[in-house]
Amino acid sequence: MGRDMFDMTIDVNGNIDTSGYELPLPLTQEQRENAFQNTCIADNTYFGGCFGKILNDNWQMNY
């Protein structure tokens, strides 16, 4: 059995995006992909950027 945890931000307009970045929302697909590569699957303990990958992949967990 696996467990998944995602961090996300909901802005004042109701937009949902990955969180933890000092960038204006909504992020671009490239910004989300960079966050995924640099934090979610990187060799560290931070899980930021994982939700952005799901958002880019049309709500599918393809990683």
Domains of the chain, by residue range, sit at: 8-56
Is residue 23 within 8 A of residue 31, CB to CB? The reply is yes
Q: What is the pLDDT of residues 7-50, one digit of tens each?
A: 888 888 888 998 867 788 889 999 999 988 988 888 877 778 88
Alpha helices in the chain (DSSP H): 29-35, 50-56
Residue 45: the pLDDT is: 77
Query: How far is CA 63 from each of CA 12, 14, 15, 48, 51, rounded to the nearest angstrom?
Result: 29, 26, 23, 14, 11
